[in-house]
Amino acid sequence: MSNHHNNGSRAGETEQMAPSQCLKVFIQRDYSEGTVVKFQTRFPQELDGRLERQAFEATINRLNGYFAEAESATCSTYCEGCLACLTAYLIYICKETHYEKCLKKVSKFVAEQNQTVYEPRGLKLTDPSMRGLRVIEISCLDRPPNA
Break the chain down into helix, strand, coil percent, rounded to 5: 45, 15, 40
Please report, for the chain, the start and end positions of each structural domain, with discontinuous segments joined by +.
Answer: 2-140
pTM above the 0.85 mark?
Answer: no
Cross-sheet strand order for the sheet of 123-126: 2-7, 22-28, 135-140, 123-126
Q: pLDDT per residue over 25-72, tens digit each?
A: 999 999 999 999 999 999 999 999 999 999 999 999 999 999 999 999
When pLDDT is averaged across residues 80-90 and rounded to a whole number, the result is 94
Over the chain, what is the mean pLDDT? Answer: 86
Residue 36, SS3? coil
